[in-house]
Amino acid sequence: MQNTIDGQQRRISVVEKILSANDRLAAENRHTLDQAGVFGVNIMASPGAGKTSLIELTIKKLIGQVSLAVVDGDIATSIDADRAAAAGAVAVQINTGGECHLDAVMLAQGLTQIDLSKIDLLIVENVGNLVCPASFQLGTHKNILVASIPEGDDKPYKYPAMYRGVDALVINKIDLQPYVPFDMDYFRRGVEILNPGLEKFAVSCRTGEGIDAWLSWILMQLDENK
């Protein structure tokens, strides 16, 4: 698109350039990971859906079996990276300084802080946001979405870009199902329209229910990537 004197058009043009530069850098990140034999996942979700809890539990369950590192994206604080480090992983914090998503440049900077030759699995925790991260590929092998029961069953319908663009869906906080209205069939139908056949894992990171299927899937992905 050519720049025009219309402000709105001009803005779109700049955004397109940023996205295309991001895609090039994402491809470089993927190459870096592949060269090192590292499998990378990008975990996205609303604030509070349970990204950090899922990562914490994944670290605790896989420790000793898989060498992993976490790159944590947050607007402010190192709360999440501290939790990942306490659970036993190499953890790198990226503070986005107000930005609402991670991008490939930020991940590239994060990767320089990790000895990739020593790890098998890289988990990237994106900024809590169900909209913007969907537009920025990071170069990881898989994009994962964490949904949660108390968020409500209408989210696939209302945030289609995010649900359409992911490779697996973890439905967290299933222990809260008795206490909130959530029609799982309605939710699943919404997901199926946007992303047919999407891998789904219903879990409670609090009780550990359902987590084994998620761990098996991650281990299978690691095997396939070797």
- Rule CB under 8 A: which of 47-76 touch a copy of itself? 47-48, 74-76
In three-state form (DSSP H/G/I as H, E/B as E, the rest C), the secondary structure along the chain is: CCCCCCHHHHHHHHHHHHHHHHHHHHHHHHHHHHHCCCEEEEEEECCCCCHHHHHHHHHHHHCCCCCEEEEEEECCCCHHHHHHHHCCCEEEEEECCCCCCCCHHHHHHHHCCCCHHHCCEEEEECCCCCCHHHHCCCCCCEEEEEEEHHHCCCHHHHCHHHHHCCCEEEEECHHHHHHCCCCHHHHHHHHHHHCCCCEEEECCCCCCCCHHHHHHHHHHHHHHHC
86 touching a copy of itself, by CB under 8 A: no
Interface residue with a copy of itself, options 106, 119, 127, 146 (CB under 8 A): 127
Q: Using the rule CB under 8 A, is 17 a contact of a copy of itself?
A: yes
For the bound state, the minimum distance from the C-beta of residue 146 to a copy of itself, rounded and expressed in Å, comes to 12
CB of 201 to a copy of itself, least distance (A): 19
Q: Which of 4, 9, 11, 113 binds a copy of itself (CB under 8 A)?
A: 11
Which of 31, 60, 118, 158 is the binder for a copy of itself (CB under 8 A)? 158
List interacting residues with a copy of itself (CB under 8 A).
Answer: 7, 10-11, 14, 17-18, 21, 46-48, 74-77, 79-80, 98, 100, 127-132, 148, 150-152, 154-155, 157-161, 173, 175-176, 179-181, 206
